[in-house]
Structure 1
C-alpha cells in the first residue's frame, strides 16, 4: 500500500492551481473509482478534456484519503467541485466521506453513452468533469434535464433513519403479498367454497381455521366444540360454522390424497411465514411512526389531513433534504408528477405525465390525493369544481370521463404545499445560530387554506421567489 510520503513524492510534478477552480468527475466502480481532473489551466495544457489527468483509487478509507490528498496537490479543498453519477449504492460511501469534509459534491443521473464511442473509465470520469466545468464554470444550460447536475446535501436525521426502514418495509409488504397470493391459490384448489363464508381467505380468523382444519373433510368432521377453539369473541358466528360445515361436506376441492398432503404442508408453512412477516411489519411500522412523530418534517407533513405517518415517512425518505430542490416544479418532477406537453402547430397538442421520477412516490401521492378528495377538505371542494371544467361528460353513461386530470391538479397543489412548508422550515433552521433552540415548525392551517381559496391570499415566503402554499382555484 502506498504511504502518504510516497504519494507526496508522486504529486510533486503536478501543476498547482492556487487561484482557479478544479472540477472533478468520479466514475464509480464496485471496488475502485476513477477521478478525472479538469480546470482552465489543465485544458490549456492538454488541449482536450479527454487528455486531462486522472487518478484511480480504491473503495476504502485509505483510498478516499489518497483521493483527497491528490486534490490538495492541485489546489485547496475549498476550490474543488466534484461530480458523480448515482449508481445504485456503490457511490454512497464516497459521497458520505466527501460531505463529512464539507466538500461541494454534485450528483447526476447515469448518463447514456453514445453508440460507437470508445468507453473507458477514464473517459467517463473526464466526461463528468467536463459536464461540471461546462455547467458551473461556463454557465451553459442543458436541454435534457437528465444531464443537469444538482448539489448533493446530506439527508436530514429523520430521512437517514427512514430511508432503510421504508425500503425494508416495501420489501416485506411485497413478500407478504406473495404469500397471500399463494395461500389464496391453495384455498381455491383445496376448498373453493371457503370464500362464500370468509370473504378474505387470508384474514386472521380465516387463517386460524385453515391451520386447525386444513381440508374440507377435517372441517366437516369437526364437532361444534372443536370449531369454537378458533373463535375470537363472537366471530365466527354459529350460523357461519354451520354454513362452512355444509359447504365442506359438498366441496368440489381436490380429493387426490397425494395432492392434498402436499397442499397441507405448503399451506402450513405459508401461514407461519405470513404471520412472521406481519409481525415484523408491525414492529417496523411502530418504529417508523415514532421517528415521524419526533421529527420536524414528520410533524409538518402529518398536519396535512390526508397524510398519515407512513405516507409522511415515504415522503421524508424520498426527499432526503428539501434543500436539494430549488422549487416546487423540481419536486413535482422528482415525484413523477410533472406534466410534459407535446405540441405541433395547431394539429397536435397533448399533455401527459413524465415517465421519470420516483415510481414509489408517484403511487404515494396518488393515494394521498385520493384520500384527500374522500375527506372533508378544501381539496375535495376544489376537485368537485374542477371535474365539470376539465372532464368530458358522457351522456350515455351519465358520468364524467377523464377525472385523472382533476386528480392530477390536486396532486400538484399538494406537492406545492409540501415544498412550501418544508422549505420554509429548512431555511429557518439554516438561519439559526449554533446552539439556538429552534421555534416550533409552521404547520398546515385549514382556516388559512380556506381564506386563500376565497381570495384573501398572502404568500408564505416574502423574500426571494414566492412559493405559495395554496394557489387560487378560481
Structure 2
C-alpha cells in the first residue's frame, strides 16, 4: 500500500510484455497524459519518466514485480487477481495491453490500497529462488524419466521391473541398465559380471540385488515384442536420469551454502522437519513479505480453510485451492516429515480421532505449524517444546 498517495501527481501504469510494454499515464483528475508502447529497455523507460517528471511526482506501477518490477524505475505493483477484479468494473470486454495499462494506472489513482510495494530482494535470496525453481524442474524431469523406465521394463519383463524399479534412485542400478538394458543382455553378461558391476557402487546390497535379478530372469522365458527397441531406449533414459540426479546434487550443494549463510538458518531449522529445501522455500516465499497475522500467512500459503455455506444444503469447511502453491507444497511435505516428531504426531492423531482423513489431518498439522513459524519469525525465537508438552 502507498502511504504518501496525496503527494503523487502522475500515475503511470505499465502492462509488462515479453518484447514490449505499454504505458499509460494519468494525472490526479484522471486525464490521460500518455499512452505508448515501450521497448524492453531501461534507458528509454527512464527517458520517458524524465519527460513526465515535469508534471510533478510520479508513481510507476507494474503488474509483474518479478520482471521489470525488479528495476528501480518501478516502486509498486498491482497483483493479478486484484487487477482482474478491478477490470470487471470498467466498461468493455476487450483484452488489450493499452486497456490493462490504463486499468493499472486508474487503480493506482483511485484505489491505492490495492497496490503492493516492491522490495529489491537481496542477492542470496534471489539466487535461492532461481536455484529452487531449477531444482523443482529437475525433480519433475527425474520423476518423468524414472516412470518412463519403469513403464518400459513393465512392458518387456514385469518381474525384472519389480526388482529394479524401486531402486532407480541408486547409481548402481542406473549403471546396470545403461550397460545391460534387456533381459537378454543380462543373461549374456552372466551373474558374475553383474555382481562385479553392482559391487563397485552398492557394497551392501549388490549380492541381494544380483540374486533377485537373476531369479526374476528365470521366471520369464518369453521374449516380448519391442524388447529390442527398449534395449535402445533404456540406456539413454538411464544415463539421462543419472545426469539429472547429479545435477540435483550440485544444485542442492549450492542451495545448502546459501541457506546456511542466511541469518535465519538456525531459527528455521530449529523447527522439527524443516530441512535445507524447506528452509530455502520459506526464505524465498515468506521472508521479506509483511503478514499482519498467522492467519494471513496461512491464507497466503493456501492452508487456511474456506467456509462454504448456502442455505441449509451446503455447509462445511474445505481446503483452499488458492494461495502460493510452492509454499503450500513445502509446508505440506514438511508436515508429513514431522510425523516422526512426538508433538506433531500427537496433533495428527488428534485430528484423525476427529474422523479427519489423512490429507485433511496433514493440512491441519501444516496449518498449526504455520502458526508456529509465524511466531518464530515475528519474535525471532527458536523453536522450543516445553517438557510438559513433550510428555503429553
Give TM-score, length-normalised by structure 1. 0.71
Distance 1:292 1:243, change over 3 A: closer
Q: Which has the higher helix share?
A: 2
Quote the Cα distance in structure 2 between the aligned partners of 1:286 and 1:414: 27
CA contact (8 A) 1:54 1:122 kept: yes
Offset at residue 83 of structure 1 (A): 2.3
Select which of 120, 124, 135 maps to 1:169: 135
Question: 245-254 vs 60-69, which deviates more?
Answer: 245-254
Consecutive unaligned residues in structure 1, runs of 5 or more: 1-16, 140-147, 393-400, 426-441, 455-474
Alpha carbons 1:198, 1:206 under 8 Å: kept: yes
What residue is the counterpart of 2:368 in the other structure?
A: 413
Is 1:248 the counterpart of 2:206? The answer is: no
Report if aligned partners of 1:191, 1:252 keep a CA contact under 8 Å in 2. no
Contact 2:309 2:316 in 1 (8 A): yes
Q: Report what 1:6 is aligned to.
A: none
Correspondence 1:117 to 2:93: yes
Structure 1 residues 33, 341: closer, same or farther in 2, change over 3 A? same
Counterpart CA distance in 1 for 2:212 and 2:187 is 10
2:69/2:77 contact within 8 Å kept = no
TM-score by length of 2: 0.84
What secondary structure sits across from 2:315 in the alignment? strand
Match of 1:265 in 2: 232
- 1:187 CA displacement: 1.5
For residue 422 of structure 1, the aligned residue among 374, 377, 383 is 377
Confirm or deny: 8 A CA contact 1:81 1:104 kept in the other structure. Answer: yes
Q: 1:217 to 1:334 in 2, by over 3 A?
A: same
Q: Which residue of 1 aligns with 2:384?
A: 445
1:27 has 2:1 as partner = no
Q: Is the 8 A contact 1:36 1:55 kept in 2?
A: yes
The 8 Å contact of residues 57 and 67 in structure 1, kept in 2 or not, is answered as no
Number of matched residues? 379
Q: Does the CA contact (< 8 Å) of 2:76 and 2:118 recur in 1?
A: yes
Cα gap change, 1:156 to 1:250, in 2 (>3 Å): same
Matches within 5 A, 1:279-358: 279-319=246-286, 321-323=288-290, 325-358=291-324
Larger Rg: 1
Cα RMSD of the aligned pairs, angstroms, is 3.1
Change (3 A) 1:241 1:94: closer
1:379 maps to 344
Asked if the contact 2:174–2:242 (Cα under 8 Å) also holds between the matched residues in 1, the reply is no
Structure 2 distance, partners of 1:168, 1:414, is 27
Query: Does the aligned pair in 2 maintain the 1:336–1:359 contact within 8 Å?
Result: yes
Q: Gaps (5+ residues) in structure 2? A: none
Give yes or no for contact 1:23–1:129 (8 Å, CA) kept in 2: yes
Q: How does 1:65-104 map to 2 (within 5 A)?
A: 65-76=46-57, 80-86=58-64, 92-98=66-72, 104=75
Residue in 2 aligned with 1:127?
103
